[in-house]
Structure 1
Amino acid sequence: MARIRIDLPEQFGFSTELPIYLSHINYGNHLDNALLLTLVSEARSRFFHSLGYQELDVEGLGIVVSDAAVQYRSEAHHGETMRVAMQATDFNKYGFDLVWQMNDVATDREVARGKTGIVFFDYDARQIASVPFAFARRVGGTSA
């Protein structure tokens, strides 16, 4: 079976640190695979906040996650702190990919990498919407 391969950008424009809590740990005594996405969601929220936005108000539009892909690279354990770095890439008319990498702060060991498809959504009209020009300009993207 073919494996997911996620290529990382040369540099990331945003990063944040998140601790691994006991509640993130599964029966294997490491970070639960599903809860890793919870940490990525928190980092995504912080990414938008760092730009002055909230996920429900990006130039008047909200966002929805359209898809997600993850490559797990190593275990993470309770008490470790993760650095999640993110970069907006591959813009199209309605959204972009938010590529991310998670590393242990103390050792720089890569724990996971992935990308999350983001689509802009007009919650009042209940339909997808074009990428706001001001947002694309701000993060270095161009909308198709």
Structure 2
Amino acid sequence: MARIRIELPERWHFETEFPVRIGDINFGNHLAHDAIVTLLHEARALFFKEYGWHELNIEGKGIIMADIGIMYLAEAFHGDMLRYEITARDFSTKGCDLVYRVSRVDDDREVVRAKTGIVFFDYESREPVAIPEAFLRIFE
């Protein structure tokens, strides 16, 4: 069976940390596979907030999710502090991939690699739009 492969970039453009919450735990007593989607969303929201944006207003444009890929690499448990690193790559005219590395702070063990494909979107016209220049400048 083919596996998802996500290569790590040389440089990250944002980093944040927050703990695994009790609601993120599954019956196996570790971080649930579905909870990581919500945690990535939180990290992405904090990334945009760092630049004064949010998902509905990045220089006047919103984003929509086109796809997601997740590689689960190690367990994490309730109370573990996780570090989320984010960057963007694989730019097209209207979108890009956000790449994430999630690792435990205490031992730097990589827990998850992920990528989310985003498309910039005008919610009034309901159409994809060009990537805002200010967003592109972050990654130059």
Q: Same fold (TM over 0.5)?
A: yes
Aligned-pair CA distance for 1:51: 1.2
The letter of the residue matching 1:91 is F
Which runs of structure 1 show a deviation greater than 4 angstroms over 4 or more consecutive aligned residues? none
Aligned-pair CA distance for 1:10: 0.9
What corresponds to 2:43 in structure 1?
Answer: 43
Instruction: Note the alpha carbon deviations across 1:9-37, whole angstroms, 9 max, x for none.
Output: 01211011011011100000000001011
In structure 2, distance between residues paired with 1:118 and 1:62: 10
What corresponds to 2:72 in structure 1?
Answer: 72
Q: What secondary structure, in the 3-state scheme, does the structure 1 residue paired with 2:2 have?
A: coil
TM-score (norm 1): 0.95
In structure 1, distance between residues paired with 2:134 and 2:27: 45
Task: Note if contact 2:81-2:106 (Cα within 8 Å) is conserved in structure 1.
Answer: yes
The letter of the residue matching 1:120 is F
What corresponds to 1:125 in structure 2?
Answer: 125
In structure 2, distance between residues paired with 1:30 and 1:11: 29
What corresponds to 1:9 in structure 2?
Answer: 9
Q: What secondary structure, in the 3-state scheme, does the structure 2 residue paired with 1:86 have?
A: strand
The equivalences for 1:39-118 within 5 A come to: 39-118=39-118
In structure 2, distance between residues paired with 1:135 and 1:42: 19
**Alignment RMSD (CA, Å):** 0.8
Q: What secondary structure, in the 3-state scheme, does the structure 2 residue paired with 1:67 have?
A: strand
Task: Note if contact 1:18-1:83 (Cα within 8 Å) is conserved in structure 2.
Answer: yes
In structure 2, distance between residues paired with 1:92 and 1:128: 12
Identity, % of aligned pairs? 48
Q: What secondary structure, in the 3-state scheme, does the structure 2 residue paired with 1:64 have?
A: strand
Instruction: Note the alpha carbon deviations across 1:21-62, whole angstroms, 9 max, x for none.
Output: 111000000000010111000000011111111110001010
What corresponds to 2:32 in structure 1?
Answer: 32
Task: Note if contact 1:18-1:39 (Cα within 8 Å) is conserved in structure 2.
Answer: no
The letter of the residue matching 1:140 is F
Aligned-pair CA distance for 1:130: 0.8
In structure 2, distance between residues paired with 1:125 and 1:80: 43
